[in-house]
């Protein structure tokens, strides 16, 4: 089959389109022909080098395609079914896994990170990862869902305990996680404030349901939040930008508010004044992906049309270098997808 692999770490130039052996199919696995694979910033970080990556390596966490063949032990799936893949793996045996907390398993990893991903034509996965999709979703849309919608759902629902009527600040409303978070917050009938780098992106974010937009290049986020909320602040900040926005995110919280973070796109090192933390009774939460149960929960809303994936641009797999370059410019609104 054709695949794009990295044989060394570096810029987009290390992505190599080449022939590799087809995956072998275990009796408890499903062979899927990849029709679409969406990019995430994780792809860039792995390409530049993360600990534990064994080379050569195939990137790509978000996969949709068709079942080609099922292993002998598989009964619930059949060849020809249109599916997406749960973007993570875990041991399935430890106390965390059997409790349904797969993202706390010590062996938990994301496709394209600790194991090979979907920048290829064929992939073999355990049946638990293979989820049929409705005809209402094309492959590009389906590939744009799993990682970011699961991440945003776990942040807002699983960790922050979002409730109807709250005010939510979504950082980076043009990103995959931001686009999902805006819609999830509106699903809970919350008031949503979001940020983006230009008016065009803010307009698209409003089209998804955001009530207010802040240009984070031209406006100070916390000042605008105070104006919008009559100096009260927000109940929840969904943070995944990191160093560049951390202080403004904390300042935007109301007393008793919650900041939940899943990423550090602009850097991991931030500070906190403990006096503000305890005097304002703030809650700071970390969030990492989500559980299989949460994935099925959020997919039920996607499949029903209540939550909608957004595709920015589609590239052929052999042009993955150009797709990575486009991702690193951060000019997109929605997901970048490659088609084998």
- Structural domains in the chain, CATH included, are 2-145+309-339 (3.90.180.10), 149-286 (3.90.180.10)
Task: For the chain, 340 residues long, give each residue's pLDDT as a single digit of tens.
Answer: 999 999 999 999 999 999 999 999 999 999 999 999 999 999 999 999 999 899 999 999 999 999 999 999 999 999 999 999 999 999 999 999 999 999 999 999 999 999 999 999 999 999 999 999 999 999 999 999 999 999 999 999 999 999 999 999 999 999 999 999 999 999 999 999 999 999 999 999 999 999 999 999 999 999 999 999 999 999 999 999 989 999 999 999 999 999 999 988 888 899 999 999 999 999 999 999 999 999 999 999 999 999 999 999 999 999 999 999 999 998 899 999 999 9
φ and ψ of 243, to 5 deg: -50, -45
Distances (CA, A) of 126 to 29, 130, 138, 263, 315: 4, 7, 23, 28, 28
Would you give the end-to-end CA distance of the chain in angstroms?
Answer: 10
* 76-82 contacts, C-beta under 8 A, 24 or more apart: 76/127, 77/30, 77/127, 77/130, 77/132, 81/132, 82/132, 82/133, 82/135, 82/139, 82/142
Torsion of CA 239, 245, 246, 247, to 10 degrees: -140
């Amino acid at each position: 089959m054709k695949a794009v692999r990295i044989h060394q770490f570096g810029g987009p130039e290390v992505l190599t389109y080449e022939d590799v052996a087809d995956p072998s199919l275990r009796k408890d696995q499903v062979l899927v022909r990849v029709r679409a694979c969406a990019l995430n910033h994780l792809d860039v970080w792995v390409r530049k080098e993360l600990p534990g990556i064994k080379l050569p390596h195939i990137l790509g966490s978000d996969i949709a395609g068709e079942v080609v063949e099922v292993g002998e032990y598989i009964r619930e799936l059949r060849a020809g079914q249109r599916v997406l893949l749960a973007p993570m793996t875990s041991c399935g045996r430890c106390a965390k896994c059997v409790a349904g907390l797969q993202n706390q398993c010590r062996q938990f990893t994301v496709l394209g990170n600790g194991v090979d991903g979907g920048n290829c034509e064929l992939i073999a996965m355990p049946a638990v990862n293979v989820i049929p999709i409705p005809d209402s979703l094309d492959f590009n849309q389906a590939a744009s869902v799993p990682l970011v919608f699961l991440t945003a759902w776990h942040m807002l629902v699983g960790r922050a305990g979002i409730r109807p009527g709250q005010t939510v600040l979504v950082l980076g409303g043009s990103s995959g996680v931001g686009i999902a978070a805006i819609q999830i917050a509106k699903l809970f009938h919350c008031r949503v404030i979001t940020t983006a780098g230009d008016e065009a992106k803010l307009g698209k974010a409003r089209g998804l349901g955001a009530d207010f937009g802040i240009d984070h290049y031209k406006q100070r986020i916390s000042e605008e939040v105070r104006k919008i909320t009559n100096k009260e602040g927000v109940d929840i900040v969904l943070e995944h930008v990191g160093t560049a926005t951390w202080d403004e995110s904390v300042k935007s919280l109301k007393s008793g508010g919650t900041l939940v973070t899943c990423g550090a796109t602009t850097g991991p090192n931030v500070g906190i004044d403990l006096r503000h933390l305890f005097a304002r009774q703030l809650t700071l939460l970390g969030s990492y992906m989500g559980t299989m149960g949460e994935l099925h929960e959020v997919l039920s809303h996607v499949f029903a049309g209540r939550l909608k994936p957004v595709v920015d641009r589609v590239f052929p797999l052999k042009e993955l270098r150009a797709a990575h370059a486009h991702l690193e410019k951060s000019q997109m609104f929605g997901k970048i997808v490659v088609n084998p």
